[in-house]
């Protein structure tokens, strides 16, 4: 009489977990450039872009990426993209940075603590 036990266990287990949704495609490199240029609030800087490389989609790996800096649930189950940028600023400083791009709770693309795409 093992069969009823197996059926009861399967019934208690509930429905199978759904596979995670496919990630949204990332914004275009020009949109990421415009986002990063939001640093220049007075529109006085010159950005000479050398690289905007968007990596493969993945889930956040730390609190900043999950936008959970101050506690709370964060966006751990959301997909995001690592973005490697290189640019020369005002013909004086070379910037080489890796940012994290994720959709915020309102659905807008955001680089946490840097900018939000319009």
The two structure tokens encoding residue 118 = 């319009």
| Measured distance CA(118)–CA(112) in Å, rounded | 14
Q: Which residues pair with 11 in a beta bridge?
A: none
| Measured distance CA(91)–CA(85) in Å, rounded | 16
The tens digit of pLDDT for each residue in 5-35 reads: 444 433 344 343 343 577 889 999 999 999 9
The tens digit of pLDDT for each residue in 38-66 reads: 989 999 999 999 999 999 999 888 888 78
- pLDDT tier for residue 71 given thresholds of 50, 70 and 90: low
Please state the rounded mean pLDDT for residues 80-85. Answer: 95
CA distances (Å), 38 to each of 43, 55, 72, 83, 106, in order? 9, 22, 27, 16, 19
Which residue's entry shows tokens 């964060």? 74
Phi, psi of 13, rounded to the nearest 5 degrees: -70, -25
The two structure tokens encoding residue 36 = 């990063």
Q: What is the pLDDT of residue 72?
A: 66
**CA-based diameter of the chain, in Å?**
80
| Measured distance CA(36)–CA(111) in Å, rounded | 8
Please state the rounded mean pLDDT for residues 73-99. Answer: 92
Check whether 36 has a pLDDT greater than 90. yes
- Selected residue with higher pLDDT from 105 and 31: 31
| Measured distance CA(50)–CA(24) in Å, rounded | 25
Domain positions in the chain are 22-116
């Amino acid at each position: 009489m093992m069969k009823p036990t197996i059926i009861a266990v399967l019934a208690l287990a509930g429905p199978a977990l759904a596979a995670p949704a496919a990630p949204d495609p990332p914004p275009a490199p020009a949109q990421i450039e415009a986002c990063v240029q939001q640093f220049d609030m007075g529109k006085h800087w010159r950005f000479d872009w050398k690289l905007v490389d968007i990596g493969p989609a993945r889930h956040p790996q730390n609190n900043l990426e999950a936008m959970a800096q101050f506690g709370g649930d964060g966006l751990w189950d959301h997909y995001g993209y690592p973005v490697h940028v290189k640019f020369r600023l005002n013909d004086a400083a070379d910037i080489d940075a890796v940012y994290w791009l994720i959709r915020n709770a309102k659905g807008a693309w955001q680089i946490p603590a840097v900018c939000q795409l319009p």
